[in-house]
Structure 1
Amino acid sequence: MPNRLTLCLCLLLALFSLKSQAGAIEVVTEDSLYAYLREDKVAGPGTQIAEETLKGAALNDYSVLLYPWARAYEKALHEPNVLIFPLDRTPAREQSFKWVGEILRVPSKLYKLRGDDSIAVKVLDDAKQYSIGVVRNDAKQIYLQQRGFTRLVVSADNHDNFQKLLNHQIQLLPMPENAARLMSQDTHVDFNSLEEVYSLDEQPHRVYLAFSLSTPDDIVAKAQRAFEQLKASGEVARIMGEKR
């Protein structure tokens, strides 16, 4: 017969398992066009979609928090009951998360400061000679590293990246046009001071909501069904089409 210590350990493990399955969901994201602070609350179209998905799935015990992207990403990699967005769905990440649904699909572009005629990119490999700003653990960093890019300047977020471009600390910045316009607006810079030099059509942003791998399957399935209903109703497209 099992001794008392073994029974106690089994009971503790069972309680821990139940707690992790029933725990509150932590929604993590970064400051971006999808999520931002407004009147001390996290707002934005991505936030709205995440919240409506969880509510539609009757998963009402959740909190939404802004982190630097690398920290949000690490939490979603290693902790249970974490919902992360905007997460690019890439082959390298496919088995590391439980995917809920696609919010948006847009191409990234390489931008330089207008008037810098020393920079010319006809094919992607031409860009290897220039310093390029990327966000730590972002899909663009991984994509460029896999293609042999070595002059990558890693930042905590896109705001730092954008400021480095303005300060001539980097020469190129990969970013979707809508994000570049938002960064220009936030920093009171004319968007036309940027110039697109190359479009990364081969690596479009497939922006998703995704759960951490250790999140219980029943939670993920409920969220997936709720998201599918939200998207079929046209709400996802409508929300993403709204201006900040």
Structure 2
Amino acid sequence: MGSHISKGKFSKKPVNGPKCTEPVTASTSEGQANGHAHKYVQTEDAELPTKSDDADIQETSTGSTETQKHLNPKNRPSEADVPFVNEDQKKIIVKTWNIIKEDIAKVGVITFTKLFETHPDVKEAFLHLKDMSQEELEYSDILKRHTLRVMQSVDKAVSRIHKPVMIHNVFLELGERHIDYHAEPRIVDLMVVQFIEALHSRLPAEHWNEETEQAWQQFLEYTMFFLKVPILCMRKT
């Protein structure tokens, strides 16, 4: 994914980025109660979410003990690595997502069926799907439910596009859950490629151009960066 990031062209000031550091404790200063953000992310320049801001984010003072135990600081990304989405790109994301939103179930199915078609080995990572044919996948309720969850995560990110710390927390938590699935960052990268292709295929032609593609590329690089951080931080090498 990194090859698609144009930091200099789009970045005014990078958003605060994830770091594999010790999580905050209960003694942390007031307003810093969200463990998922502070386990990886410096947030001194951004307003932290509260329960009233986002019911999906739970207040906690520490993260998973197992995650704390095995974090590998050698894999810590720097703030300079965080992709940046500028204001014009945010407007494009919101506008095009509102157009495609009613069609997200189809976008999700296209994303994953094309992913499995172009990279059959990836299907092995999906226990309940790996033995299905391409035709079976297209009509699989299991795949539809999975893709809908993925699309709902994208919808959360778009709806919080002006609240970066909320996005950080949602995708860091999602990344932590993917550790248990032995998820590979490579699969996330491949999924992004197919998701953009699916958007292209479903959006009306007048709403798709190079700027739209770049905006979505940058936005997905940004959100998936935070999803991948817990996975990378758990690696021993």
> Which bin holds the TM-score, normalised by the shorter protein?
under 0.3
Rg larger for? 1
- Taking structure 1 as the reference length, the TM-score comes to 0.24
- Taking structure 2 as the reference length, the TM-score comes to 0.25
Structure with the higher strand share, 1 or 2: 1
